[in-house]
Amino acid sequence: MTTTSRDSFTGKFGVIAAAAGSAVGLGNIWRFPYVVGENGGGAFLLVYILFIFAIGIPVMVSELLIGRRSQKNVFGAFRTLAPDKPFFMIVGIMGVGAAFMILAFYSVVAGWTLEYTYMAIGDNLLDKSSAELSAFFESFSESTAGPIGWMVLFMTLTAGIVIGGVKKGIERYTKILMPILFVIIVVLCINSAMLPGAGEGFAFLFKPDFSKVTGSVILEALGQAFFSLSIGMGVIATYGSYIQKKENLLNTAISVSIADTLIAVLAGVAIFPAVFAFGINPSAGPGLVFETLPNVFNQMSGGYLFSVAFFLLLVIAALTSSVSLLEVVVAYFSEELKMNRKLATVIAASVITGLGVVCVIYDKVFTFFDKTSSNVLLPLGGIFIAIFVGWVLGKAKTKDELEAHGGKARLVGFLMIILKVIAPIAIGIVFLNGIGLL
Ligand code: PHE
């Protein structure tokens, strides 16, 4: 990288690893299965995959190029690229707001993951029956001291990494650890598939029942796609600003999206056969993964080691995502409000921790933050990002940025049609229909 003041990622795998580190997290392994379960399974999955490719990848490319072209945080990016259109700073405002909301409940769930890691290490998960596991999750998640303690620990870790700086902080962990998590999930899939009654889980996940598709199901699929890809709020734009010119942004977006979707689907394959085999309700909600997977560890050889490794790596996957969320706020505070980076991190992390406490105590706030961020803020951010690149930045600059790596940009015309027309209209319709206004 030529500038000295901004951190950057080191190479191809570094970029993909960091963006994938943001994308792959609790969204894939905790949120995806629980939302699939609540929305009827197979048909939801199909709609979800359609959204990833038709809307998610184009919006991700847009964010990457907004960040790289401007070399700024989300606010500064829009101001730099279109100084005469202050309206688009709304994306920055919504993005920072979304980061606060998401991190608040995300760190609570990450706290649950820490508790499960602790339980797994102490070998306190494997001796429980399915009913006991569900009861344990319920009483734990409804208590306050434990969840708050773990959440605070998680936010402290997140802030520590962000203070340490982007490159050293994020890249190093993601590169080695995410492939290991992937292997563990594959092993879980195999074990889950061999459970008696697994077929029902496969049918739930892969046999679409279109009678289950309603407006709100479609909006949930869109929201989950945005959430899982980390798009619609500036995380990917902020990371884009750290990407070197020699990287190919379209390929980066495609690789990250495919990796993210693969991990989500594999998490589904690991979880749903077990859900049915152990008689758990697929629409059990946010506890689904925690109530289901320990049963699988129980049944398999090497369950102890796998359970410890799985929950530990899940914590790390959550960390590489939470770091990217906090980075949006910190880049904004430090570059726009000219705050010292350390102070910015401490302030942001403290406020978010406070909101996290509220999420632990009030279930309703947790759910409100969870649903509003994914189903409202991210899709709306996505509309503005698509419109910005499609109509304001325009084809010539988009092409130029996509070709900055020295190669020929493919599919620019097609991308422009999606960004100008298809994505804004489709997201708009899905959104209005999903909230019952259309
Ligand atoms: N994509 C992350 C995950 O799946 C969560 C996230 C959402 C991160 C939005 C950044 C922005 O866990």
What is the distance in A from the centroid of ligand 1 to the CA of 23?
5
Q: What is the pLDDT of residue 80?
A: 93
Q: What is the pLDDT of residue 220?
A: 97
How far apart CA 173 and CA 210 sit, in angstroms, is: 41
> CA quadruple 133, 134, 139, 145: dihedral positive or negative?
positive
Q: What is the pLDDT of residue 1?
A: 36
Q: What is the pLDDT of residue 242?
A: 83
| CA distance to 356, 397, 412, per residue, from 403 (Å) | 42, 10, 10
What residues in the chain have per-residue pLDDT under 70?
1-15, 165-173
Over residues 366-381, the pLDDT tens digits come to 999 999 999 999 999 9
Q: What is the pLDDT of residue 8?
A: 67
Domain residues of the chain, as ranges?
Answer: 12-370
**Residue whose CA lies nearest to ligand 1 atom number 9:** 230
What is the distance in A from the centroid of ligand 1 to the CA of 127?
33
What is the distance in A from the centroid of ligand 1 to the CA of 424?
21
Pocket test for ligand 1, best of 263, 266, 321, 326 (most atoms within 8 A of CB): 321
**Residue whose CA lies nearest to ligand 1 atom number 7:** 230
Q: What is the pLDDT of residue 170?
A: 63
User: Ligand 1 site: residues with CB under 6 angstroms?
Assistant: 22-23, 25-28, 102, 227-228, 230, 233, 235, 321, 324-325
Pocket test for ligand 1, best of 30, 227, 231, 313 (most atoms within 8 A of CB): 227
- Beta-carbon contacts of 271 under 8 Å, excluding residues fewer than 6 positions away, are 33, 192, 201, 288, 289, 292, 293
How many CA within 13 A on the CB side of residue 30? Answer: 25
What is the distance in A from the centroid of ligand 1 to the CA of 20?
10
Assigned token pair, 390: 């499609």
12-370: which CATH architecture? Orthogonal Bundle (1.10)
How far apart CA 257 and CA 106 sit, in angstroms, is: 21
**Residue whose CA lies nearest to ligand 1 atom number 8:** 230
Q: What is the pLDDT of residue 2?
A: 39
165: left (phi over 0), alpha (psi -120 to 50) or beta: left
What is the distance in A from the centroid of ligand 1 to the CA of 122?
29
